[in-house]
Structure 1
Amino acid sequence: MGIAKQYLKTKPVCKVTFTVPAEEAKKVTVVGDFNNWKANKASTLKKLKNGTFKGTFDLPKENAYEFKYIIDGNYVNEAEADRYQWNDYAGSENAVLEL
């Protein structure tokens, strides 16, 4: 898994690309604070020919966002997250993205 950040000079936005290697998976979405934890078409990552899922989101800079991947219905943390935050509601840690 991986996260790539590209800060734009002309806007207060960071292009964040989420990459999830999941050849056997049928569907991967990314949910978090930035999309109200909604798994919908906009949060679904695109499956590439090599079996990797990938998606890019424009997120406001100077914020921290809790998030998780949903891989075929299972919540999974990003191994390369900036940090992790305990979430009492979920009863587990969420990955955190610092921009």
Structure 2
Amino acid sequence: MKDVVFSLPGEALGTAISAVLLGDFNNWDIDKAIALKPHKDGTLKAKVKLEPGQTYEYRFLLNDGRWVNDWAAQGYVHKQHFGIDNSVITVEEELLVAEKKTKTRATADKAAKTVSKAVKKVAEVVKDDLTKIEGIGPAITKLLEQEGIQNFRDLSKATIKKLKGVLDAAGSKFAMHDPKSWPKQAKLAAAEKWEELKALQQELVGGK
């Protein structure tokens, strides 16, 4: 149940001095009428516990016998049989609103984490100058990068079969290259063992 405050401005009283609240929530039963209490600002108010998600019709009954509507009602419904309008209120479903906000927040948090991981992953990708490997030039470097081989570490873990496949797929111009020594060279480069790499490359002929 949710506390709903009904308010009637003092000027609506006219010559009356008090008012009660009647509506669907008390079956319009005068014996169950809810008295409005006067406040310092001149308004009369009553707090009623109502079911969230439900719509209620209501009116104020003044002590001089006159019925008046809520000037600030959400809406009004015409009762043709009686030739009058009743005030209408629909109680907001707080729990559903809270759940929706929580779900939206959770979705936003999940999206933020996904973006964060993606950014981190991109940031972790380090490109090395693969042309430092004997037998690899700018054109082959581009081919390898397209296959996800971005640095010395990637190249050191690549199989000869995969490297040969990349070269063969690029055409005869590239298929003539022999990548057998590339992973070994890349392993030394990744470990920054430049002297050992230089010695190995001096033994190689065209990267073979």
- The residue identity in structure 2 corresponding to 1:21 is P
SS at match of 2:30: coil
Give the alignment of 1:15-94 within 5 angstroms. 15-22=3-10, 25-40=16-31, 43-72=34-63, 73-94=65-86
For 1:14, the equivalent position in structure 2 comes to 2
Given the superposition, is the C-alpha separation of residues 58 and 34 from structure 1 closer, same or farther in structure 2, using an over 3 Å criterion? same
Runs of 4+ aligned residues of structure 1 deviating over 6 Å after TM superposition are none
Does 71-80 or 29-38 show the bigger shift? Answer: 71-80
Q: Which has the higher contact order (CA 8 A, sep 6+)?
A: 1
> In structure 2, how many angstroms separate the alpha carbons of the residues matched to 1:81 and 1:45?
16
Kept after mapping to 1: 8 A contact 2:55/2:90: yes
Cα pair 2:26 2:32 within 8 Å, conserved? no
The residue identity in structure 2 corresponding to 1:14 is K
Deviation at 1:95, TM superposition (A): 0.7
| Higher relative strand content | 1
Which structure is higher in helix share?
A: 2
TM-score (ref. length: structure 2)? 0.38
Whichever residue aligns with residue 19 of structure 1, its letter is S
Q: Which runs of 5+ in 1 are unaligned?
A: 1-12
Q: Identity over the aligned pairs, expressed in percent?
A: 34
1:49 Cα deviation from its structure 2 partner:
4.4
Aligned to 1:37, the other structure's residue is in SS state coil
1:81 Cα offset (Å):
1.1
How high is the TM-score relative to the length of structure 1? Answer: 0.74
Q: How many residues in Structure 1 have an aligned counterpart in Structure 2?
A: 87
Residues 33-67 of structure 1 deviation map (CA, whole Å, 9 limit, x = unaligned): 11111234651111234432111000011110011
Q: CA contact under 8 A between 1:30 and 1:39: conserved in structure 2?
A: no
